[in-house]
Amino acid sequence: MPNRFTLHGVWLSGPTYKVGLFLSLAGEPFDYVHVDLRAGEHKRPDYVARQRYGQVPLLVDAHNGRHLTQSAAILEYLADTTGRFGGADLDERIAAREWMYWDFDRLARGVYRPRGIRAGFMKAAPEVLEHYTAEGRAALASLDEHLAGRAFLVGEGLTIADIDIYGVTAYAGDAGHDLAETPNVAAWMRRIEALPGFRPATECLPQETRAA
Ligand SMILES: N[C@@H](CCC(=O)N[C@@H](CS)C(=O)NCC(=O)O)C(=O)O
């Protein structure tokens, strides 16, 4: 029987990993469709008709036919519809959302871009690499400060804010950041990695299409 959720994505993609990680931590098996970005599959009209931004990830919910885009919005949808990791009350839900907006404003660029440049996926002058690296370093430092004395970003348990931001910090090393400089971030990551259902990106996302 097909699974409720089908994730369309790329195994190297941080935003795709965020969604796969939620499903894995929630114990929700999912079908997976590999989108070949190099072949331009994400820009083909049939794909863009389903994912208006022409990007990965795309999550399809077979219960209602919804096509969901933007990883942070998908995480909110999954929290709403599965009842997992949404926060204990309204204040926690608000705080979790704040962290997800903060991520895309301050952190993601300073990790994903240096990672892409260093891996040769993107071309950039050395000063551009240094600019993004400095931005990431500053964001990791402020995350470290917030995590001092806390187990998770919001409240007492795991929320979509942790899943969202873990989906960025998981690539910090590839981006040239040294997590030894942010020990609270490193300890928080280990805490998430010890949770039941946790899988690193390489195990969470197949490299090819996978049905249930
Ligand atoms: N804000 C989006 C970003 C998604 C994104 O940047 N996806 C990349 C892969 S990691 C992509 O599809 N790139 C191809 C393109 O933008 O044309 C999200 O969080 O879902």
Instruction: Give residue-wise pLDDT tens across range 27-79.
Output: 999 999 999 999 999 999 999 999 999 999 999 999 999 999 999 999 999 99
Q: 13 alpha carbon to ligand 1 midpoint, in Å? A: 8
Pocket of ligand 1 contains residue 15 by CB under 6 Å: yes
* Protein residue closest via CA to atom 14 of ligand 1: 55
Pocket of ligand 1 contains residue 51 by CB under 6 Å: no
Can you give the pLDDT at residue 132? 98
CATH number of the CATH domain containing 56? 3.40.30.10
- The answer, yes or no, to whether residue 212 has pLDDT greater than 70, is no
- For residues 98 and 116, state if they share a domain: yes
Q: Is the residue at 211 inside a domain? A: no
Can you give the pLDDT at residue 170? 98
Pocket of ligand 1 contains residue 56 by CB under 6 Å: yes
76-123 pLDDT per residue, tens: 999 999 999 999 999 999 999 999 999 999 999 999 999 999 999 999
- Please give the helix or strand (H or E) that residue 20 lies within, else none: helix 14-25
Arithmetic mean of pLDDT, 198-205: 97
Report the phi/psi class of residue 70: left, alpha or beta, with left for phi > 0 and alpha for psi in -120 to 50: left
- For residues 78 and 96, state if they share a domain: no
Number of domains the chain is built from: 2
- For residues 147 and 99, state if they share a domain: yes
CATH number of the CATH domain containing 118? 1.20.1050.10
Residue-wise DSSP of 108-146: HHHHHHHHHHHTTSS---HHHHHHHHHHHHHHHHHHHHH
- The answer, yes or no, to whether residue 1 has pLDDT greater than 80, is no
Q: Which of 37, 55, 67 to mutate to test the pocket of ligand 1 (most atoms within 8 A of CB)?
A: 55
Q: 194 alpha carbon to ligand 1 midpoint, in Å? A: 28
- For residues 114 and 53, state if they share a domain: no
Can you give the pLDDT at residue 31? 96
- Please give the helix or strand (H or E) that residue 32 lies within, else none: strand 30-34
* Protein residue closest via CA to atom 16 of ligand 1: 55
Q: 139 alpha carbon to ligand 1 midpoint, in Å? A: 20
Query: Do the bridges between strand 5-9 and strand 30-34 make them parallel or antiparallel, or are there none, so unpaired?
Result: parallel
Counting every residue written for the chain, the total comes to 212
- The answer, yes or no, to whether residue 154 has pLDDT greater than 70, is yes
Q: 15 alpha carbon to ligand 1 midpoint, in Å? A: 7
- For residues 116 and 188, state if they share a domain: yes
Can you give the pLDDT at residue 210? 85
Collapsing DSSP to helix, strand or coil, 33 comes out as: strand
Q: Is the residue at 212 inside a domain? A: no
- For residues 104 and 36, state if they share a domain: no
User: What ligand 1 atom has the least distance to the C-alpha of 104?
Assistant: 1
* CB proximity list for 198: less than 8 A, separation 6 or greater: 21, 24, 25, 192
The domain in which residue 145 lies consists of 90-193
Separation of alpha carbons 89 and 192, rounded Å:
21
Q: 202 alpha carbon to ligand 1 midpoint, in Å? A: 18
